Structure 1
Amino acid sequence: MFCSLKQSGLTSSTFSNPLIEKTQALKHQRSLLFSLSKPPIKGVNLVVCKSFKSSAKPLYISSIKELGSSFKLRNRGNVIECKAHEDESIETKSSAAAAAAQKVKISIYFATWWALNVIFNIYNKKVLNAFPYPWFSSALSLATGSLFMFISWATRIVEPPSTDFDFWKSLFPVAVAHTIGHVAATVSMANVAVSFTHIIKSGEPACSVLVSRFLLGETFPTGVYLSLIPIIGGCALSALTELNFNMTGFNGAMISNLAFVFRNIFSKRGMKGKSISGMNYYACLSIMSFLILTPFAIAVEGPQMWAAGWQNALSQIGPNFLWWVAAQSLCYHLYNQFSYMSLDEISPLTFSIGNTMKRISVIVSTIIIFRTPVQPINALGAAIAIFGTFLYSQAKQ
């Protein structure tokens, strides 16, 4: 016997034609339909179907018991009680499908994030080799991302965020730290190999722990402090054995680490209680960072240097230089955007692991593309530092 019931909050349902006609209390009760594998039971005038909680899910009969004619009915006959259970298969299938779709979504985000980051680093280094003006390059990538989001908002491809003065006020220190970190990393990559910059930047967790411990008074589990040993040791070993070591490049990477640590701290404090998507949050961050950076870029390098350098790059590289600039500018915004979108969907631990794997992909790919000479001891230092970063992400949770 099959029973499908749509209830209105009652824990039991009674079906009898004479009672439905005469009882006003059953007006809000919906239909109870029975599909029988054989003709109706002879002499049965009333079926009582009991469920133990209100539900909109289909109910299936699990047991049937004949009660006899104890009820005083106008049409005498037997009464049958049946107990029903909810159909959980629909919810289970729906949950499984949703979980599978979520995994596919996150996988796409991660793959796009890593791929765009690798592309950005390759073309950014190509541009800096031909046009050694990191301040201009940094400002241009932020300007491109800002323009991209303005167009997305204007065309309603992306819903514009709802912001107020307090939002922009809380975003300002985040934008300052982001600007410093972005420029410092670009300065580093202009002076040393991309792989070396990312090896030093893998030491960001160590900077985070030290800043949080000595400036904010936070304490961490012992495992977190122990994970700093391979991070610091690996970075030091890699720096000492770097064939193309440059102090400006090293300092730029370290300043970038510190700046991004403060960016994360300010971001956590400023965004409490505010609801905005990762995509729009990074868009607003890019806009404010561009406004902060532009006057400093003009003061440090200036339009005259940019114009001369631009003409020189075009004469040496040709039209391909324009494609390099477009690729590095757009990919910078998109890879950061996808990283923030990923953070919306996953835990901080998963994000940290993904960030570590992303750095490995950048180091390996840029060594191959630019044929960067690497000594075995240098590679060992990089591996130790990255492994320490992985241990940190595990211990911090």
Structure 2
Amino acid sequence: MTISALQLGVGCLYGIFLWFAPDARKAPEVTLDDIIKMLPVAFCYMGAHSASVFSFASGSVSFGQIVKASEPAFAAVLSQFVYGSKVSKAKWLCLPIVIGGVILASVNELDFAVSALVSACIANLFAAFKGNENKKLMSTEGLSDRLGSVGNQFALTTILGFLMSIPVIMIKEGNKFGEFIELFKSTPAIRNNLIASGLWFYGYNELATMTLKKTSAVTASVANTAKRVIVIVGVALVLGESLDPMKLLGCGIGISGVFLYSIIDSLVKKKDE
């Protein structure tokens, strides 16, 4: 929890820096009511990130990424039964492919850990809530104008998520925080990796959000699918994680299912036309 929270803290510093840097980014002009409305999104963002970090720490990173690829299944259930947003039959039919791929990838997972699986599922749940809450948030009249940009929205979400994570750190790991600070000061690897991972995480998510605004849904889906493949294979090669045939097959099926889920409505619509 400490690591994930401080990664958000690094992102906060970067976002605030952009508001004060000359010719970088104009600060948002949001109201207190806007901030209050952003809290659910920020909380879900914090929860998704923390659970993801815990998942990657509990098992192999590639396995965590495979499970996280099943996020559409969680989003579909929440959208349909909690938020009342109808999910098409075509999308429902894609979900068994995604879930089946995850199961296949888990069968011979050498680094399998129940905690990694559960944490990744919790991350998916938080991410699904975040997506639905964000839709509600952006329907607020005039909010987009007051935020000024997608970058400002993400910066505020990160700042609020970081602030909400502080009490959790104090409750769960407060007694070890002093020890962590000493390690941070004395161990360059911890210090450098924490700062770098925080900046990379912030930069990636902000860029992904901006890209989604400027591209079609299909293009974004292709890019997201490619990202999963690159991360899973790249991490396995760099960290020496297992990539046996069954895991690769499950990975391929699961990610293909996610891609199909993302574009199926467009394909069905074109066929009907």
Identity value in percent:
31
* Root mean square deviation, CA, Å: 1.7
Could you say which structure has the higher strand fraction?
1
Structure 2: runs of 5+ lacking an equivalent? 267-273
Between the aligned partners of 2:185 and 2:35, the Cα distance in structure 1 is 39
Q: Residue type matched to 2:165 in 1?
A: L
**Alignment match of 2:169 (pick from 294, 297, 307):** 297
Whether the aligned pair in 1 keeps the contact of 2:212 and 2:220 (CA below 8 Å) is: yes
Residues 162 and 349 of structure 1, relative CA distance in 2, 3 Å threshold? farther
Deviation at 1:373, TM superposition (A): 1.5
Q: Could you tell me the TM-score, scaled by structure 2's length? A: 0.90
What is residue 200 of structure 1 aligned with on the other side?
Answer: 67
**Alignment match of 2:57 (pick from 173, 190, 209):** 190
What is residue 120 of structure 1 aligned with on the other side?
Answer: none
Q: Where do 1:49-68 residues align within 5 Å?
A: none
Deviation at 1:306, TM superposition (A): 3.4
Between the aligned partners of 2:152 and 2:183, the Cα distance in structure 1 is 37
**Alignment match of 2:156 (pick from 284, 292, 304):** 284
**Corresponding position: 1:149 with 2:149:** no
Q: Where do 1:244-393 residues align within 5 Å?
A: 244-272=111-139, 273=141, 274-275=143-144, 276-302=148-174, 304-309=175-180, 311=182, 318-393=187-262
Deviation at 1:361, TM superposition (A): 1.0
Q: Residue type matched to 1:146 in 2?
A: C
Between the aligned partners of 1:343 and 1:215, the Cα distance in structure 2 is 25
Between the aligned partners of 1:309 and 1:152, the Cα distance in structure 2 is 28
Residues 314 and 172 of structure 1, relative CA distance in 2, 3 Å threshold? closer
Whether the aligned pair in 2 keeps the contact of 1:243 and 1:374 (CA below 8 Å) is: no
Residues 312 and 323 of structure 1, relative CA distance in 2, 3 Å threshold? closer
Render the CA deviation track for 1:344-364: whole Å, top value 9, x for unaligned: 212333223222211111111
How many residue pairs get aligned? The number is 260
Q: Residue type matched to 1:228 in 2?
A: L
Residues 324 and 291 of structure 1, relative CA distance in 2, 3 Å threshold? same
Deviation at 1:291, TM superposition (A): 0.7
Structure 1: runs of 5+ lacking an equivalent? 1-134
Whether the aligned pair in 2 keeps the contact of 1:224 and 1:392 (CA below 8 Å) is: yes
What is residue 100 of structure 1 aligned with on the other side?
Answer: none
Deviation at 1:141, TM superposition (A): 1.1
Give the structure, 1 or 2, with the largest relative contact order (CA under 8 Å, sep 6 or more).
Answer: 2
What is residue 90 of structure 2 aligned with on the other side?
Answer: 223
Deviation at 1:142, TM superposition (A): 1.0
Render the CA deviation track for 1:319-362: whole Å, top value 9, x for unaligned: 33322222111111111111111122123332232222111111
Whether the aligned pair in 1 keeps the contact of 2:58 and 2:116 (CA below 8 Å) is: yes
Q: Could you tell me the TM-score, scaled by structure 1's length? A: 0.62
What is residue 37 of structure 2 aligned with on the other side?
Answer: 170
Residues 196 and 310 of structure 1, relative CA distance in 2, 3 Å threshold? farther
Between the aligned partners of 2:85 and 2:19, the Cα distance in structure 1 is 40
Between the aligned partners of 1:375 and 1:391, the Cα distance in structure 2 is 24
